[in-house]
Amino acid sequence: MTRLADVLARDGIERLQPLLLVCQYRMGTTSSNTTTRVWHLIGVAARTCLEMGLHRAATYALPRTLDDATRKVKEEEMETKRRCFWSLVALDRVTSLALGRPLALQLEDIDVDLPPSSTADQLPEDSSPLSSAPYGTPQYRAATSVFVHIVRYRLICGKIINALHRSAKHVTFSNTSYEEMRTALARELQEWHTETANLPLVKSDTAASPASGSSFRSEEWYRLLYHNGMLMLFRPSPCLNDAAVNSLALQNVYDSAREAISLYASLHRSRKLNYSWITMHAVFLAGLSYIFALRHHFSGSEPQRARLHTTPTINQVVNDTRACSKVLVAVSERWDLARNCSDLFDRLSDAVVADVVEASVAAPVQFSADLAGMTVDSTFRDCFGDLQSLGLDEFHNDAISQLSQEWFFGLGGESHPYY
């Protein structure tokens, strides 16, 4: 960072590549104080890309008069620029989602294609490393397949941000309801997840190797991305807030939160988890979503209230919350803010376990007669200020702040599908 001024003084790809490296490094650190810095740097990188025309397909066209040797060199240069551009687009989605801020690059302004990659029958069968493969080799194209698949997921996340997680005041979609958009995006996310089977992944029982230690080649990691995407779709948002009255939405929140917790725990055990502030944010959000879903399931038996298909057992809830807590503790060993995050989750999880125990021994009508009597609601009120300060955005537009606000405001009255 001490040479950042020198980097910004350069032009073109010599400025863009170092900016991307700094952003990637900062996103992988354990300090949440770097979040806004990363967001600003991504803004600088985005404008550098626009200045270079990397969002336009015409930029990558090569003259037909080039000889073969020169063409090959130029093709590799253009491929590097294309990869840098799409890397930035992906980083933009990750940071904007974590901070609850608008995207720097909108898909409507981009007409360049993703990098060409291998088809399923062209992928290498071994589990050799792909990251350092020379340009044009089968391993290089296989690595590109992984890269393109990840970018496609980030693009879906960007669509979800624009459709459901922007301010509803100026967002209008003619002849399309928010429910229909959510259904279409869920279908697109499912198709993406199905296509994960075509990637050169490494089986979990493969002998230790550099490739087996990469989350990018782990099937579990892609399942985790899928369930994080489902949480984005079905948790309360500024445009659609129906989890309290729509049993299908509540079930999706519960199922994906539970699966995400399990997958984070598995990746932690296999040492494939990235211990960063981005991970801390995502793990805590999965845990909070899980408790949110349980709270709504056990809070009442009125016909208009959403319910889960089956009531979770005490053992299930204890095991799930304990697994989430262990991952948060592992992440929180590195900085103070995350330790506070782990403590908050433990208080909320202990409270919801107490409610589940009470529900198992009390008559359902008796248990749900007084919503204000739930232990988890009382604990949540005490923790609300800390939850708001835990969010990564000072204006409380991030996912943790939004979910806790919906919960808090819902304690005072009926929930509505639209804010």
387 vs 345: CA distance, rounded Å: 10
**Residues whose CB falls within 8 Å of the CB of residue 325, separated by 6 or more in sequence, listed in order:** 287, 342, 345, 346, 349
408 vs 353: CA distance, rounded Å: 19
10 Å Cβ neighbour count for 4? 13
CB 156 within 8 A of CB 138: no
Q: What is the pLDDT of residue 393?
A: 66
Q: How many CA atoms lie within 13 A of 283 on its CB side?
A: 33
**Structure tokens that stand for 114 in this block:** 């993703």
30 vs 34: CA distance, rounded Å: 9
Q: How many CA atoms lie within 13 A of 374 on its CB side?
A: 26
CB 154 within 8 A of CB 27: no
Q: What is the pLDDT of residue 99?
A: 86
Q: Which amino acid is at 397?
A: N
CB 300 within 8 A of CB 344: no
Q: How far is CA 244 from CA 136, 293, 310, 367, in A?
A: 52, 8, 16, 18
**pLDDT mean for each 10 residues of the chain (419 residues):** 75 92 85 74 95 97 91 94 98 91 95 85 65 84 94 98 79 72 98 94 65 80 98 93 93 99 96 88 95 90 82 97 95 69 94 92 52 80 86 73 84 52
Instruction: Please give the backbone phi and psi of residue 318, each rounded to the nearest 5 degrees, phi first.
Output: -60, -45
Q: What is the pLDDT of residue 124?
A: 65
**Residues whose CB falls within 8 Å of the CB of residue 105, separated by 6 or more in sequence, listed in order:** 46, 49, 50, 55, 88, 89, 92
CA 125 to chain centre: 30
Q: Where do the domains of the chain lie?
A: 1-62+73-113, 115-201, 235-419
CB 399 within 8 A of CB 285: yes
Q: What is the pLDDT of residue 372?
A: 47
pTM, full prediction: 0.91
Q: What is the pLDDT of residue 275?
A: 86
Q: What is the pLDDT of residue 360?
A: 85
Q: What is the pLDDT of residue 83?
A: 97
Q: What is the pLDDT of residue 257?
A: 99
